[in-house]
Amino acid sequence: MPSCWRRSLRQRSGFIKASGLTRRLLRANSHLQIRFAGALLGPVVALLLISAVQAQQRALPLNVLRSGIEFSGSDVRSMQSDDLANPGFLWVERGEKLWNDSTGGSSCASCHGDASASMRGVVARYPAFDAASGTVLDLEARINDCRVRRQKQNPLPRESDDLLGLTAYLALQSRGMALAARIDGPAGAAFDRGRAFYSQRHGQMNLSCAQCHDQNWGKRLYAETLSQGHGNAFPAYKLEWQTLGSLQRRIRACLFGIRAEMPPPGASELTDIELFLAWRAQGLPLEAPGVRR
């Protein structure tokens, strides 16, 4: 639709203008620093400018970020906070068994050892760029990459109980840690694609992710309160699904809801948006395995 194209072009050119402005501001700042060399003012101005730049780039500044659990009812909260009531731990136990299972020749533990030590903090940094394949991999793709290249085993299908078990078990090792995906360097291109996807309108309802989760979070959509759309609880047990599911499944469900085309599980578009979401939720604690309605 031409009107939609025009709108998205305008949005994009707005973004380019904004980033041009930040460049100019930074350049201006470097002059200031030279002029006030040795004075305290220079670094103070620099800090103020950098925080202004960040606020400009982030639709949701870091200080307003709220995890999806804050939009959930008390029943969902108590399910998530109690590890025995949380059904996600059925998968965690399966993942722990798989981690130590060496029937295929070598187990994950043969190389990585005790997951509580070697995997602490790892999932909080995912999706991450993988130099060997030259692409950004999400946790599911990383596990399968390891299985195929190192363990010489078949990749596990997405949303299979085995893969969900491993992702849940690994995510648990970083529970409570702040999300900190890297978007600089070679991951930058995927991040930019993810950001573009997020702000682009999709599907028959002609909605972008940003229209709900940046501009209208906290308001009601039918019986639900719109959350900010963070993925920090995934893989999460969705009561609606009656099972544990990945962040990709959740994103696909959102696309289904706005009647948009859904990229197949594992598609690079979904990994790109996962990376963008991880950056967007930067600093929120990992809650996986979470519980959501």
Partner 1 sequence: MADSRINVPAATRRDEAIEVRISIRHAMETGYRTDEGGKPVPRNVIRSFACRYNGDPVFAVRVSSGIAANPYFRFFVTARESGTLDFEWIDDAGARGTAQAAVKVV
Q: Which two tokens stand for residue 249?
A: 């499944």
DSSP state of 166: H
**C-beta closer to partner 1: residue 89 or 99:** 89
Query: Strand, helix or coil at 110?
Result: helix
* Distance of closest approach, residue 164 Cβ to partner 1, in angstroms: 10
**C-beta closer to partner 1: residue 71 or 241:** 241
Q: How far apart are CA 155 and CA 207, in angstroms?
A: 34
Among 48, 64, 78, 93, binds partner 1 (CB under 8 A): 93
* Terminal alpha carbon distance of the chain: 35
* Distance of closest approach, residue 96 Cβ to partner 1, in angstroms: 9
Burial of 264 (0-12, 13-18, 19+ CB in 10 A): exposed
Among 91, 129, 217, 276, binds partner 1 (CB under 8 A): 91
What are the residues whose beta carbons fall under 8 Å from the beta carbon of 52, sequence distance 6 or more? 25
Q: For residue 178, which amino acid is it? A: A
Which one of the spans 42-50, 93-101, 191-199, 259-267 is the region binding partner 1 (CB under 8 A)?
A: 93-101
Q: How far apart are CA 25 and CA 61, in angstroms?
A: 19
**C-beta closer to partner 1: residue 211 or 243:** 243
CA distances from 131 to 136, 155, 206 (A): 9, 19, 36
Among 45, 90, 109, 258, binds partner 1 (CB under 8 A): 90
**C-beta closer to partner 1: residue 93 or 261:** 93
Among 65, 68, 94, 138, binds partner 1 (CB under 8 A): 94
* Distance of closest approach, residue 115 Cβ to partner 1, in angstroms: 16
Active site residues: 254
Total residues binding partner 1 (CB under 8 A): 14
Q: How far apart are CA 205 and CA 26, in angstroms?
A: 39
* Distance of closest approach, residue 91 Cβ to partner 1, in angstroms: 8
- x-marked contacts with partner 1 along 227-246 as a string, rule CB under 8 A: ------------x--xx---
Burial of 172 (0-12, 13-18, 19+ CB in 10 A): buried
> Residue 136: what are its φ and ψ, rounded to 5°?
-85, 130
**C-beta closer to partner 1: residue 87 or 155:** 87
Q: How far apart are CA 162 and CA 97, in angstroms?
A: 10
Contact present, 86 and 237 (Cβ < 8 Å): yes
**C-beta closer to partner 1: residue 169 or 191:** 169
Contact present, 200 and 255 (Cβ < 8 Å): no
Buried b (16+ CB within 10 A) or exposed e, 61-82: eeeebebbbebbeeebeebbee
- x-marked contacts with partner 1 along 160-199 as a string, rule CB under 8 A: -x---x----------------------------------
Residues in 30-89 at the binding interface with partner 1, rule: CB under 8 A: 84-85, 87, 89
* Distance of closest approach, residue 161 Cβ to partner 1, in angstroms: 6
* Distance of closest approach, residue 165 Cβ to partner 1, in angstroms: 7
Summarize as ranges the residues that interact with partner 1 (CB under 8 A): 84-85, 87, 89-91, 93-94, 97, 161, 165, 239, 242-243
